[in-house]
Structure 1
């Protein structure tokens, strides 16, 4: 799946990747998926995305070729590939911040990400038949044959991201947790909130079938924000003062006001901040807001004063997935977490154009699409 311009990601031929450095591997992709953050690329919200970039940062497959200095992976191994491109030996990688790797991105301040343009290192992604994986002694994890692709594929991104979001928010026994957004990461964050001992999990969205899924599979209380004039104030009321933790799994593509739409087109605003505004109203004094949804540029009328005056802790960022892959895989092996219920569509890569259309337009009750090259 190749970026051809705004609103134009299409199935196309691309050059097969080759070994470029001694620590590279090439994998033949067996499963990949479309992530909600890929829609930010489709809609033109991420700068410096070059025409012809292969998209996709959730991929796994069989090792076809290895560089001369690859010692932990061999040809024929079945591996998953965490979405950040990370060297494993810089200060950030050694201090559990692999998403901020100092050596994987010559173009921007953060670390590299597969299939996300020059701002994130300029790497081609995994929605393809083959993928080049740099720093293979650090990133990929070998997967046992007893586990299916469907069980482990999401350990590349959305499972670690959801787990990191809940853990970073400090969710503990007896907490009330609000999860904004019932897309794939939101659904998984709800599961992890219960595992961390939450007493109450409230899921917020405005898409009925996603709310129904959260209620059925995650036992969450559900709120359709279209039903209330002030959703944040309503949640504060029903929780008697607000939630201990609010996890924003929406990001910049939340419901925009008319002004935000105009400002975003003019590059005066980085997209919607509707989720942040709900979060600022429904978190309790001294509570924590954790932003795991992707945000873009600067934001006008950000509610900083409201957060400051109420001693709110605000956390955010790209998940340092390498630090969370192994614990997540252990939970999968021990049957403590199962993410397969969010898979609503499995399609061949040759139907990638149709898959993007279904995912973007939320057709056919779509939550998560897996593509099979």
Structure 2
């Protein structure tokens, strides 16, 4: 089959790889109908996630048609159209039973966290879904059947973007009347803004440095935008315009934010896991007693982390990988009722064979690219 594979730093290619096979009785094989590139895939190809082997199949936002099923699979059947949540989860360990699927104890033999499709040996060594076919383990837990009336475009982001952005808002404890700053206007940040609008918050301020992404954020009614490159100290500016700081900050940037020369040097030497620019902005822009929710992916340990700033001002920090399976059913109902349209972030639809080009425009922020959907067939 054809698949997008990692060939080295900032180098991906479409290659022929072996077709996946049923390995355990609760596996299924799906024929991929739609897949997407995630911002966290860029962390992989930038070398920020360890233990990624060459020729690894990438991708964790995938849906398709069930082609084969193992003998123990009862949740889905051949011919079903399913989305596959990005965390690989067994469904019966302590963490799965407490709805923390992203921390499954049994899906990752290589590390302390749960497994993720297409995300290196650090996260379980599973092949990803940017391919013609995908093996899905624990198929009685993960895959969810999608009704025919929903297009792939309306359903695909249930795999990651929608539950991650929804969970970020929910886990931060956002309330009606709050002032919320969203750092990063990529797919997660833009999706989070729309969830905030449904919460009827008092004020939403979207922060980025890419003009076309800020323009998209500003197209949502009532959203204010700030280009952080136009301010000497963005954190202090945000604190000033919010009259003491925001109630909640959603960090949808993570380690791939703007890096100082010192941070680039530290990251190169593996002394730091990427940028902490969003953390530093947050440390100044949050009000006393506020909450910072880190939705963007962070890597290794960090030097000069502003922990004392958070501690002295009673700031609550929350973070982590979204337990997607716990949120998908309720989000699916919201989409079916027509209360949330996830498709507006799609700017490019390409064939899987154009995967290298797709990564180049997404990574380079070319052609006003926000989200790429790939079609293998």
TM-score norm. by structure 2 comes to: 0.98
| 3-state secondary structure, aligned to 1:217 | coil
Q: CA deviation at 1:196?
A: 1.8
The match for 1:211 is 214
Q: CA deviation at 1:94?
A: 0.8
Give aligned pairs, total. Answer: 373
Q: Does 1:302 align with 2:291?
A: no
The match for 1:335 is 338
The equivalent position to 2:292 in structure 1, one of 263, 275, 289, is: 289
Deviates more, 1:192-201 or 1:276-285: 192-201
Q: Does 1:165 align with 2:160?
A: no
The equivalent position to 2:268 in structure 1, one of 246, 259, 265, is: 265
| 3-state secondary structure, aligned to 1:277 | helix
| 3-state secondary structure, aligned to 1:37 | helix
The match for 1:155 is 158
2-side partners of 1:23 and 1:327: how far apart?
A: 25
The equivalent position to 2:316 in structure 1, one of 313, 317, 327, is: 313
The match for 2:49 is 46
Listed one character per residue, the Cα deviations across residues 120-159 of structure 1 (whole Å, up to 9, x for unaligned) are: 0000000000000000001000001100000010000010
Q: Does 1:223 align with 2:226?
A: yes
Whether contact under 8 Å (1:344, 1:369) holds in the other structure is yes
Q: Does 1:355 align with 2:358?
A: yes
Whether contact under 8 Å (1:191, 1:218) holds in the other structure is no
Listed one character per residue, the Cα deviations across residues 209-239 of structure 1 (whole Å, up to 9, x for unaligned) are: 0000000135410000011011111111111
The match for 2:246 is 243
5+ residue gaps, structure 1: none
Q: Output the aligned Cα RMSD.
A: 0.7
Listed one character per residue, the Cα deviations across residues 230-285 of structure 1 (whole Å, up to 9, x for unaligned) are: 11111111111110000000000100001000111011111000000001110110
Q: Does 1:86 align with 2:89?
A: yes
1-side partners of 2:328 and 2:95: how far apart?
A: 17
Whether contact under 8 Å (1:171, 1:197) holds in the other structure is no
Whether contact under 8 Å (1:38, 1:55) holds in the other structure is yes
The match for 2:280 is 277
The match for 2:122 is 119
The match for 1:179 is 182
The equivalent position to 1:188 in structure 2, one of 175, 185, 191, is: 191
2-side partners of 1:51 and 1:226: how far apart?
A: 36
